[in-house]
Amino acid sequence: MSNIINIKNVTKEFKVLNRREGLKGSIKDLFSRDYKIVRAVDNISMDIEQGEVIGYLGPNGAGKSTTIKMMTGVLEPTSGEILVGGNIPYKNRTKNAQDIGVVFGQRSQLWWALPLIESFNILKDIYQIGDNEYHNMLEMYQSLVDIESLLHKPVRQMSLGQRTLSDILAAFLHDPKIVFLDEPTIGLDVSMKAKIRDLIYALNKEKNTTVILTTHDMGDVDALCRRIVIIDKGKMLYDNDIEHLRGFFGSYRTLKIRVDGKLSKCADIVRKELANLSVSSDDEWISILVDEEKTTVMDVLNQLRNTFNIRDMQLEEISTEDVIKKIYEEGVK
């Protein structure tokens, strides 16, 4: 039993004010009691062990950030219990802060105008990191990425990729037990993504830091996470290792075709013809979800070729969104 995080039946409800307009309205809103209640997180439980890397997935607005904010102590759960490293985060936020590191994809905690090394020095004092630990950490960073070239560059002159990299290093600097990474690879190019993944992987291995990673990029998950947790609309849909999930959905592929003739009409015909498959269409493509264990993509294509003149086709591995949609529609048995 080395659970670092215990979450038990956590629910978070927001009272959302039905807002009025203008300064007068805002002042009135100070006293208004016109609320509606939104349930952002609904009865979630999980235990996380020291050293795990967890992929925390779900569509936009699923409640991921809310859960993370509760774990960091910025939000207080409406009901249920959260323990992070033995602390109740919202009660001991300042103490809890010493044990965690945070990276929010689009925001930086670094000092904008200063060279990176100054930010590190400030963090060293704020988190009261000892001189030896600090130097060892910097040495280790140097062995993982070429940090020397970044250290003396002001953060505002960095590219997004360099900044994200720096932010991740900053989050690990005080050797926290847990690091929360909220969409760290958002907006980065492929090689930078790979670099960031390697870095997170190495830091986790080196320091046995628990990493909780939210992302929309299945590549991040594949590269880093053994275990994934999926939530949607505040409810937990899945909590198991990734092989398990692949076993369920690995055999699914999305076949996209473009045909001669009016798309919506053709889509209806396809739907009729492939009654047992799920078919959807947009302005450009007709998408068909194929379970390769039952029928192969080739069979479907052959069948369609009898009726249509196929102009173009694409084959896509099932995406996170599709997996989540599938799970949401059918559940995991």
Partner 1 sequence: MKIKKYLTLTRAGIIESLNFRLAILIMIAGNLLYLIVVYFLWKSIFASSETGVVNGMTFTDTLIYLVLATALFNFMEMYTVWDMGRNIQSGKIVLDLLKPMEYRSYLFWSYSGSFVTNFFFTVLPTFMVVIIVTHGAIPFGINLLFFAVSVILGVMINYSIDFIVGTICLYTESIWGINIMKQVIVLLLSGATVPIVFFPEPLKTIVYYLPFQSIYNAPLTLLLSRNPSYETVLIIIGTQLIWCIIITAFGKIFWKKSLRQITVNGG
Task: Return the SS3 of 89.
Answer: coil
Rounded CA-CA distance 272/95 in Å is 61
What letter would DSSP give residue 316?
A: E
The site map against partner 1 for 231-260 (x = CB under 8 A) is: ------------------------------
223 binds partner 1 (CB under 8 A): no
Q: By C-beta, is 118 or 239 nearer to partner 1? A: 118
* Shortest distance in whole angstroms from residue 30 CB to partner 1: 6
Inter-residue contact 7 to 80 (CB < 8 Å): yes
Q: What is the residue type of 183?
A: E
114 binds partner 1 (CB under 8 A): yes
102 binds partner 1 (CB under 8 A): yes
**CB-facing half-sphere around the CA of 270: CA atoms within 13 A:** 31
298 binds partner 1 (CB under 8 A): no
* Residue 135 CB neighbour total at 10 angstroms: 12
Task: Choose, by CB under 8 A, the member of 9, 20, 26, 243 that binds partner 1.
Answer: 26
Task: Choose, by CB under 8 A, the member of 45, 49, 61, 126 that binds partner 1.
Answer: 126
Rounded CA-CA distance 329/313 in Å is 26
Task: Choose, by CB under 8 A, the member of 29, 175, 198, 291 that binds partner 1.
Answer: 29
Q: At 175, list the tokens.
A: 């050797």
Rounded CA-CA distance 301/309 in Å is 11
81 binds partner 1 (CB under 8 A): no
Q: What is the residue type of 39?
A: R
Would you tell me which residues interact with partner 1 (CB under 8 A)?
Answer: 14-15, 23, 26-27, 29-30, 40, 66, 69, 72-76, 78, 90, 93-95, 97-98, 100, 102, 104, 107, 109, 111, 113-114, 118, 121-122, 124-128, 154
